Amino acid sequence: MRARHVFRVLSLAGLTFMSLALASCSSTPKRQAAILVVKNDAAEFSRLADGFLSSGQLSSALQYYGEALKANLSVDNVEGAIAARGALGKTYLVLGSLPDAERELGDALTDARAFNKGSLVALCLSNLGELRYASGDIDAADSLFLEAQELAASDGDVAALVSHNRGVVAMARGEYAIAEVLFLKAAAANEKAQRWVELGSNRYSLASLANSSGDVDKAIDWAGKALEADKRAENAPGIGADLEALARLQRKVKNDEVAFDFYRRAFGLWLSLDREPEAERCLIALQELATSLGKASYASRYEELLSRLDERQIP
């Protein structure tokens, strides 16, 4: 009797195991489909955030990068979570919120090292290097960029980014020849891959480098090319920076009428993005230029706009 009982219990246990296994098999496709939906949602959140970032809407970019991070974490999509955390950290960096950037970029690097994908580790190292550079620690930034360079060879996008960042460090150290080689290398790779935002940044840096070297004509040429790339990317903050750079350079060579036009275009763009500090900077230059050019009505208009801005800033 005992033997039969044992056999019966084992048989029931076997049936239960088989039932669970069959149930598991039948639900696996549904579970995988649900995970795929969440991953797609996370990717869409990141795309939305990228769009907000390129149009200068930083608070919305933060919100959607945060949503992308939550979605990726909810299904343990490690690589997606690392990318979202890195984008979140870089947005905090643009906002000047360095402690928040430090937290997100540091965590992204820790997770990337554990995930052990070379190009992803390189990207996180480069992002953290940008934070160190923004904090004034050029040597620490350079160390991170050099480490990233060794890991980025398999990914052209990341390799170009690292080359650009190393160029920024070289320029800060006054190593202009090295900086130019690095910027040109990054620009060639980005142009070939049609990464227009990155190309705009490369060309803007080449314009800045030429200006620092005393070649204003070359600087104007590169700034114009940066504007072309940023327009192709519809990168509004980049376009604004390019227009201001062209205005400053034209003013430097005494082409005040041309500078006036560029400043007006830059002012309109910054105003459309609600970027008050940049708009005020353009207004100051416009008021000065209008006065020197004998444009009395414009000078009065810009003076009035400046006074309104000053009144808003009074506590």
User: CA-CA distance, 260 to 274, in Å (whole number)?
Assistant: 21
CA 124 from centroid of its chain's CA atoms: 12
Higher local confidence (pLDDT), 43 or 312? 43
Which of 104, 115, 40 shows the shortest CA–CA distance to 72? Answer: 40
Handedness of CA 238, 133, 47, 189 (dihedral sign): positive
Tokens representing 271?
Answer: 């105003």
Quote the mean pLDDT of the chain.
Answer: 90
Q: Do 64 and 31 form a contact (C-beta atoms < 8 A)?
A: no
Which of 106, 136, 149 shows the shortest CA–CA distance to 124? Answer: 106
pLDDT at 314 over 80: no
3-class secondary structure, 214: coil
User: CA-CA distance, 162 to 47, in Å (whole number)?
Assistant: 23
User: CA-CA distance, 126 to 14, in Å (whole number)?
Assistant: 54
* pLDDT, tens digit (0-9, with 9 covering 90-100), for 239-264: 999 999 999 999 999 999 999 999 99
* pLDDT, tens digit (0-9, with 9 covering 90-100), for 75-100: 999 999 999 999 999 999 999 999 99
User: CA-CA distance, 126 to 119, in Å (whole number)?
Assistant: 10
